[in-house]
């Protein structure tokens, strides 16, 4: 349409499915328009991989994402470009490396025990569990513990929790990203004013995390030499004066970590629990592996156990292939470039259609079926394993690959192992009794799900 372009076709929440259907019709490279913005879509996984690797300078986070992030105080690594990104990325990487996650493991066990207690109580009362909301409490508790050294324990909190405010942020980022006009800069709708109140609550909580970390650094100056976590490392770097980091960078990264670790991991878990509930054979195999590895314990207690869960890991990979929580990644050309044989001028926005290859028969036989076996290298008909591993890219690729992936995989294993060892899944259904649909609010979530479980007799090892 004139002026609006394709904006009316790109329905809120279903943006990704519309672009995916265009990819099936028009092929690996095509173009669409939202208002005045022309967007080039790329659906071929090899081309996508080449673009993602050609960062941070040739392809950037889009200027609109950076601006919207800045308006909200999201100035962390996920939203940064260029030198600023390089500085922040180094610090974030060291806070999330496997060594740190290993040292944090005992706290991860404690948080998992809390979720176990919460679900046991729900099973005893016969209550349905609001799946995503419980999982987000879990992921926020884990991120705050690992990255900020603060045990916020939203899982056992009775009153309002930070996660209720965080939940509002990514849907608003998503809405503003695809809005044809930046109306909120001129006037605020009631939803924008409500959102500002959520932001104030989040900033208050972030201020407290930072104050607590400063308190620890003052109480134990040796921590300045060997900070325990991301927030301490950032404060030390900011105080050193030559890092170029500001108070706003520290707060922006705290905010970014809470968001980046919350929805992504919780929604992947929600999808996986739903897929396991609808696939009895996969569930049985995963459950028997879990019972054997746990050997009678209700939760995993040693990090080596997580490595032994090969079938469960295949279920995770298969979930992320079919239900990637980031089905579209936007980038913007920082310089003139060529993608395959297409010339791309500076400033062009690219929509990378991440799921197109992962659910194409070109790479995966019977692509719509949830089949964890294809990740175990035993399926003769499957394309070679190298392709199986390279095509889906659920954590992105190249220099901006998700730094939280190792933590996320541990969280997903901890929760699903706890669920399968202690409960029988009775049902997983949409809260409004409708179909389990996808909804894209920056991350791709299922509509709100209710989980019903029955406690099993004390977990036993498989015979
Ligand atoms: C299953 C869970 C997760 C999925 C599927 C996921 C996926 C992604 C994806 C697709 C990206 C963009 C990568 C790119 O541009 O190439 C990303 C970036 C990022 N993720 Fe994750 N993520 C997950 C969990 C986490 C966790 C637990 C954290 C931290 C607590 C985290 C922190 C980040 C950060 C900071 C970035 C920005 C990296 C940068 O721009 O340099 N993620 N993630």
Q: Which residue has the tokens 């998700």?
A: 402
Q: Which residues of 3-21 are buried (b: 16+ CB within 10 A; e: fewer)?
A: eebbbebbeebbbbbebbe
- Three-state SS at 156: coil
Q: Of 414, 321, 400, nearest to 107 (Cα)? A: 414
Q: For the sheet containing 29-34, what is the strand order?
A: 29-34, 37-42, 349-353, 328-333, 59-60
Q: Rounded to whole angstroms, how far apart are CA atoms 11 and 20?
A: 13
- Three-state SS at 445: strand
Q: Which residue has the tokens 């050609």?
A: 54
User: What pLDDT score does 31 carry?
Assistant: 95
Nearest CA to ligand 1 atom 1: 265
Residues facing 29 on adjacent strands: 42
- How many other β-carbons are positioned within 10 Å of the β-carbon of residue 287? 24
Q: What is the dihedral of CA 76, 142, 268, 44, to 10 degrees?
A: 30
Backbone angles phi, psi at 209, to 5 degrees: -60, -45
Nearest CA to ligand 1 atom 2: 265
Q: Rounded to whole angstroms, how far apart are CA atoms 407 and 269?
A: 13
Q: Of 121, 133, 447, 456, nearest to 283 (Cα)? A: 456
User: What pLDDT score does 463 carry?
Assistant: 41
Q: Rounded to whole angstroms, how far apart are CA atoms 301 and 391?
A: 33
User: What pLDDT score does 273 carry?
Assistant: 98
Backbone angles phi, psi at 158, to 5 degrees: -90, -35
Residues facing 455 on adjacent strands: 423
Q: What is the pLDDT along the chain (463 residues), one digit of tens a residue?
A: 988 888 888 888 899 999 999 999 999 999 999 888 899 999 999 999 999 999 998 999 999 999 999 999 888 899 999 988 988 888 788 778 788 788 889 999 999 999 999 999 999 999 999 999 999 999 999 999 988 888 989 999 877 688 889 989 988 998 888 777 889 999 999 999 999 999 999 999 999 999 999 999 999 999 888 888 888 888 888 888 677 778 888 899 889 999 999 999 999 999 999 999 999 999 999 999 999 999 989 999 999 999 999 999 999 999 999 999 999 999 999 999 999 889 999 999 999 999 999 999 999 999 999 999 999 976 555 556 777 788 999 999 999 999 999 999 999 999 999 999 999 999 999 998 889 999 998 899 999 999 999 999 865 544 4
Instruction: Point out the ligand 1 atom lying closest to the alpha carbon of residue 79.
Output: 40
User: What pLDDT score does 136 carry?
Assistant: 94
Q: Cα(459) to centroid of ligand 1, in Å?
A: 34
Instruction: Identify which of 234, 392, 402 to mutate to test ligand 1's pocket (most ligand atoms within 8 A of the CB).
Output: 402
User: Can you give the pTM of this predicted structure?
Assistant: 0.94
User: What pLDDT score does 427 carry?
Assistant: 96
Per-residue DSSP letters for 102-151?
Answer: HHHHHHHHHHHHHHHHHHHHHHHHTPPEEHHHHHHHHHHHHHHHHHH---
Q: Which residue has the tokens 């890219």?
A: 393
Q: Rounded to whole angstroms, how far apart are CA atoms 453 and 119?
A: 8
Angle, alpha carbons 369-375-380 (nearest 5°): 80
Nearest CA to ligand 1 atom 17: 402
- How many other β-carbons are positioned within 10 Å of the β-carbon of residue 262? 25
Which residues contact residue 226 at a Cβ distance below 8 angstroms, ignoring those fewer than 6 apart? none
The dihedral sign for the CA sequence 386, 284, 325, 251: negative
Q: Rounded to whole angstroms, how far apart are CA atoms 303 and 316?
A: 17
Give the binding-site residues of ligand 1, using a 6 Å CB cut-off: 52, 77-78, 89, 92, 143, 256-257, 260-261, 264-265, 268, 325-326, 329, 394-397, 400-404, 407-408
Q: Rounded to whole angstroms, how far apart are CA atoms 275 and 269?
A: 10
Q: Rounded to whole angstroms, how far apart are CA atoms 417 and 142?
A: 17
The dihedral sign for the CA sequence 324, 431, 311, 380: negative
Q: Rounded to whole angstroms, how far apart are CA atoms 438 and 441?
A: 10
Q: Rounded to whole angstroms, how far apart are CA atoms 322 and 272?
A: 10
User: What pLDDT score does 382 carry?
Assistant: 54
User: What pLDDT score does 460 carry?
Assistant: 53
Q: Rounded to whole angstroms, how far apart are CA atoms 98 and 321?
A: 23
């Amino acid at each position: 349409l004139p002026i609006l372009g394709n904006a009316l076709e790109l329905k809120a929440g279903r943006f990704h499915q519309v672009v995916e259907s265009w990819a099936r019709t028009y092929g690996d490279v095509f173009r669409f328009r939202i208002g005045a913005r022309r967007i080039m879509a790329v659906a071929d996984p090899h081309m996508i991989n080449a673009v993602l690797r050609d960062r941070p300078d040739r392809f950037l986070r889009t200027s609109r994402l950076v601006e919207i992030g800045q308006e909200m105080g999201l100035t962390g690594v996920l939203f940064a470009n260029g030198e600023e990104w390089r500085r922040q990325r180094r610090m974030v990487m060291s806070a999330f490396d496997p060594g740190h996650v290993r040292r944090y493991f005992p706290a991860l066990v404690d948080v998992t025990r809390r979720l176990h207690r919460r679900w046991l109580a729900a099973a005893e009362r016969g209550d349905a569990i609001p799946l995503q909301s419980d999982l987000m409490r879990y992921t926020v508790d884990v991120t705050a513990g690992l990255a900020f050294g603060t045990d916020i324990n939203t899982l056992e909190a009775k009153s309002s929790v930070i996660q209720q405010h965080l939940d509002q942020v990514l849907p608003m980022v998503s809405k503003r990203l695809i809005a044809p006009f930046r109306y909120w800069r001129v006037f605020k709708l009631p939803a924008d004013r409500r959102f500002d109140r959520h932001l104030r609550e989040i900033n208050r909580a972030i201020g407290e995390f930072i104050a607590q970390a400063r308190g620890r650094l003052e109480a134990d100056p040796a921590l300045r030499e060997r900070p325990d976590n991301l927030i301490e490392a950032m404060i030390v770097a900011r105080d050193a004066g030559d890092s170029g980091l500001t108070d706003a960078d520290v707060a922006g990264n705290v905010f970014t970590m809470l968001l980046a670790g919350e929805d992504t991991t919780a929604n992947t878990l929600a999808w996986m629990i739903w897929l396991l509930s609808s696939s009895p054979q996969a569930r049985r195999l995963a459950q028997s592996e879990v019972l054997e590895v746990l050997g009678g314990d209700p939760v995993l207690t040693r990090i080596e156990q997580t490595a032994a869960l090969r079938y469960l890991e295949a279920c995770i990979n298969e979930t992320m292939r079919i239900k990637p929580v980031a089905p579209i990644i936007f980038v913007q050309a920082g310089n003139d470039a060529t993608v395959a044989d297409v010339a791309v001028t500076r400033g062009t926005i690219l929509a990378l259609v991440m799921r197109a290859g992962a659910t194409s028969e070109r790479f995966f036989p019977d692509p719509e079926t949830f089949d964890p076996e294809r990740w175990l290298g035993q399926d003769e008909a499957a394309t070679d394993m190298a392709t199986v591993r390279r095509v889906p890219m659920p954590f992105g690729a190249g220099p901006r690959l998700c730094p939280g992936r190792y933590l996320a995989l541990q969280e997903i294993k901890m929760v699903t192992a706890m669920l399968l060892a202690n409960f029988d899944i009775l049902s997983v259904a949409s809260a409004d009794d409708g179909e389990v649909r996808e909804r894209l609010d920056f991350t791709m979530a299922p509509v709100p799900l209710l989980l019903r479980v029955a406690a099993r007799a004390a977990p036993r090892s498989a015979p």
